[in-house]
Amino acid sequence: MLALATPPAAMAPSASSGPDTAPSSPPGTPFVQLDGVGLSYGGPQGLKALNNTNMAIEKGRFIAVVGPSGCGKSSLMKLVTGLQPPTQGSVSVNGAKVNGPLKIVGMAFQNPSLLPWRPLLSNVMLPLEIVQPHRSRLRANKAEYLAKARALLETVGLQEFETKFPWMLSGGMQQRANLCRSLIHDPDLLMLDEPFGALDAFTREELWGVLQEVWMERRFTCILVTHDLREAAYLADTIYVMSARPGTIIARHEVDLPRPRTVDTTFEPRFVDLVHTIRSEIAQVRNEAKKAAKAGATKAGTTEQKAS
């Protein structure tokens, strides 16, 4: 999972500088585009996390990114949200090159990180205190924003819990509230990094349904990073599969299963076949990476022996 040195409580919109609303992309231009993107931590000689990564995501699509552990999925999220600049290539969102943290993004991570001293409604409202233009409008339009927050809480079935504190609620309820918080400022782009990873299987499946419902209603562009291939196939229109580190896209699958999908969908042969195919692709890249690491270790050992 992501270990981000991100803005307050890795939850909501990134709030700092950067384009407020990027210019609208011309028709036919992808909403999110990665061209030959590479990322090395610690400079060019440092750890290479991503290599020649290309993606073109249309507006309103639900994308999932899967791949072996450590392949650079979270790094990809950081690049798209502008929290991390690429060391190679370019990232564009809504027709503008990403040069800093974007404001049109909502984010939710595995740990909901709701503020424990704030009741649920106030937690959901938090991004409005940070992100413009809502920040300037909030005081004068409080009733409108409260109605919006309550409507979101109702969508996820938390309308009766708005006065409760996060620590009074289950993990699933907290993650529902987290989803509301990431959507309160109507982001055009929602980035989800393993949002349901810490939940039990039943709650997770329940929240797939909740997220799908919210997305079908609002149709924001969504990028979901997950280890759970069933989650990817249930939620996404398109699944990108990444290689082992340095990560690059090795496969792309269109999920043409009708919506709304349900838990029953996950037992359909087409669904099972898709998950199986992706699982094999990831198993293969993991095996290749293990072999390469072993060969590297052997070579290093031989060189060391020769030197001594």
Q: Which residues bind ligand ATP (CB under 6 A)?
A: 1-2, 41, 47, 49, 69-75, 245
Nearer to ligand ATP, 74 or 155 (CB): 74
Comparing CA positions, the residue from 33, 25, 1 lying closest to residue 198 is 1
63 contacts: CB under 8 Å, gap ≥ 6: 55, 57, 221, 222, 223, 224, 236, 237, 238, 239, 240
Nearer to ligand ATP, 41 or 117 (CB): 41
**C-alpha to C-alpha distance for 64 and 7, rounded to whole angstroms:** 24
CB of 50 to ligand ATP, least distance (A): 8
Structural tokens at position 308: 């001594």
Q: Which residue has the tokens 């290539």?
A: 89
CB of 159 to ligand ATP, least distance (A): 33
CB of 297 to ligand ATP, least distance (A): 17
Segment holding 144, helix H or strand E: helix 142-155
Nearer to ligand ATP, 150 or 227 (CB): 227
CB of 107 to ligand ATP, least distance (A): 14
Comparing CA positions, the residue from 164, 134, 132 lying closest to residue 146 is 134
Q: Which stretches does DSSP call E strand in the chain?
A: 32-41, 47-57, 62-66, 88-93, 96-97, 105-109, 189-193, 221-225, 238-242, 249-254
Nearer to ligand ATP, 49 or 189 (CB): 49
Structural tokens at position 266: 């996950």
**C-alpha to C-alpha distance for 11 and 188, rounded to whole angstroms:** 16
CB of 281 to ligand ATP, least distance (A): 15
Nearer to ligand ATP, 126 or 285 (CB): 285
CB of 46 to ligand ATP, least distance (A): 7
Nearer to ligand ATP, 204 or 261 (CB): 204
Q: Which residues pair with 91 in a beta bridge?
A: 34
CB of 245 to ligand ATP, least distance (A): 5
CA angle centred on 171, ends 191 and 103, rounded to 5°:
25
Nearer to ligand ATP, 153 or 190 (CB): 190
Nearer to ligand ATP, 263 or 297 (CB): 297
57 contacts: CB under 8 Å, gap ≥ 6: 30, 31, 32, 33, 63, 221, 223, 238
Q: Which residues pair with 222 in a beta bridge?
A: 62, 190
- SS3 (DSSP) at 32: strand
CB of 47 to ligand ATP, least distance (A): 5
